Structure 1
Amino acid sequence: MMLEINLAPGSRKGARKSAGFALPSGLASIGSNIRDPWLLGSAASVVAAVAVVGILFTGQSARAGELETRLESALRDSTRYAKVLDARHRLTAERDSVHRQLQIIRTIDDNRYNWAHILDEISRALPAYTWLTIIEQTSKTPLPPGTDSVAQAAATPSSAAAKKKDTAVVTPDTVTVHPPLTFRVIGQTVDIQALTMFMRQLESSPFVQSVSLTKSEIVIVEGKDVTQFELTAAYEVPPAGVVQTSPLVVPVR
């Protein structure tokens, strides 16, 4: 009978354990390197960065799809609203054109009797022993309502306009409701007091204002001394109620 004594305790047990499973040498070296804390931190950072990039990419893709949908909807709305705005602009232009035509008609209607009122007031204020020789307008004759001022300037070019004929200057075509109207009256009288009375009565008219004596001199007419005078005045828009109008009714059969 032979006895074996193990002088190295644990050697057999370790051999028995190692005989069960052994890692390859490459994996064993990797396992030994993974125990480094800096390497573990770097690996964790890479994994976290990849996860964050994936989350951000998914979110941005969803956001881009939503924005694309909203853009298509906005383009459709823009096309629809553009048609509505274009129709609104056309209607506004037609409304302004009708309003302007009505204003032109109203201007013509308001000013067509100006000279009739002026002559009527002069005749009414003229005293005895006084007669008139000249009645004429001194203010510039206004353009007819609605006349294009650009076309008028092209028809009568000035020296400054001739230098700038290549430059198109567009001025607004406005309608003046009551253009200024001034006139002068030249006459003769045998009584200087009649001239004073004529000026006073003319100034009291609701259609005439700014009556002033421009010139007065003694002239000989048929062997007699008479006073020749020249007056200047302006047309005044009468207050409401002075001129009464009535609608024109035309029977229709």
Structure 2
Amino acid sequence: MMIEINLLPGARKKGKSAGGGISLGSLSALAAGIRDPWLIGAAASVVVSVAAVGLLFSAQSARATELGTRVEKAVRDSTRYAKVLSARHKLTAERDSVMRQLQIIRTIDDNRYNWAHILDEVSRALPAYTWLTVMEQTTKTPLPPGMDSTETTQAPKAAKEKKGKDTDEKAPADTITVHPPLGFRIVGQTVDIQALTLFMRQLESSPFVQKVSLSKSEIVIVEGKDVTQFELHAEYEVPPPGVVRTTPLVVPVR
């Protein structure tokens, strides 16, 4: 057994102080690293970034939930309103159909006596020693009420264009002319030129005839006598209210 004796004074303290110096140095180095402002800033930025990401995630989640609820409500409202709009469009189409049928009936009823009025007024205005040889319509005969004049000529083109359009697009409503223009020509003969002037004046004063004009006048020989042959052009005029009185037709039913 060997016993060592330290004969140098202060050697034990120096050893202890050396061991303690290493411990204090490491602690001071760690303290110096923590006090570094760049390291503190980096740590703080990491903490702030994590907190911001968490807040943004929470806000976006709440926003997504709110938007999902609103979308579901909008879909329900759209379904309900679609049914309401479909019923409204159906009722509007039925109303337009009824109004169109009434308009067609009105057109037929208002125009069926036009020629009767014209013939009556011409007969009243015809003076003595004057007779007519020709009386005919000069304007184009209108199509039956409810038919579009461009329907027959543009039907193929319209059908092709309609295929490219949206089915929900509303087509423009066609119109019905209640009183289509009606022009006529009168050819007659007279033995007195003053009778022709009187005839034109009386026709022009009629509430059913307008725009009376003399197109041609010449002397012809009829049965060995000189007579004046004339040609007049005029148009039918819609009379003002009160001239034509209508009464309902009552038919007794047995």
Q: How does the TM-score come out when normalised to structure 2?
A: 0.81
Taking a change above 3 Å as real, the CA distance of residues 202 and 148 of structure 1, as seen in their structure-2 partners, is: closer
2:242 matched residue in structure 1: 241
Structure 2 match to 1:141: 141
- 1:168 and 1:73, CA in 2 relative to 1: closer, same or farther beyond 3 A? closer
Deviation per CA, 1:194-223: give whole Å up to 9, x if none: 111111111110000111111111111111
RMSD, matched Cα: 3.0
Structure 1: gaps (5+ residues) = 1-6, 156-160
After superposition, the Cα gap between the structure-2 partners of 1:87 and 1:172, relative to the gap in structure 1 and judged at 3 Å, is closer
- The equivalences for 1:187-226 within 5 A come to 187-226=188-227
Change in CA separation of 1:165 and 1:41 when aligned onto 2, cut-off 3 Å = closer
Aligned to 2:221, the other structure's residue is in SS state strand
Q: 1:166 to 1:109 in 2, by over 3 A?
A: closer
Q: Please show how residues 73-222 of structure 1 align to structure 2 within 5 Å.
A: 73-153=73-153, 173-222=174-223
Distance 1:105 1:73, change over 3 A: same
Deviation by residue 1:109-148 (Cα, 9 ceiling, x = unmatched): 1111000000000000011111111100011111111124
Amino acid at match of 1:53: V
Taking a change above 3 Å as real, the CA distance of residues 28 and 248 of structure 1, as seen in their structure-2 partners, is farther
Distance apart, 1:184 and its partner CA: 0.7
- 1:55–1:173 CA distance, 2 compared to 1 (3 A): closer
Q: How many angstroms apart in 1 are the aligned matches of 2:147 and 2:103?
A: 13
Whole-Å separation in 2 of the counterparts to 1:186 and 1:211: 13
Alpha-carbon spacing, 1:31–1:165, altered in 2? closer, same or farther (3 Å): closer
> CA separation in 2, counterparts of 1:154 and 1:57?
62
Change over 3 Å in CA distance of 1:171–1:72 after alignment to 2: closer
1:59-103 CA-to-partner distances (Å, cap 9, x unmatched) read 110111111111111111111111111111111111111111111
Question: What percent of counterpart residues are identical?
Answer: 74
CA distance in 2, matches of 1:111, 1:67: 63
CA separation of 1:75 and 1:192: change in aligned 2, threshold 3 A: same
**CA 1:252–1:34: 2 relative to 1, 3 Å:** farther
Aligned to 1:34: 34
**TM-score, structure 1 as length reference:** 0.81
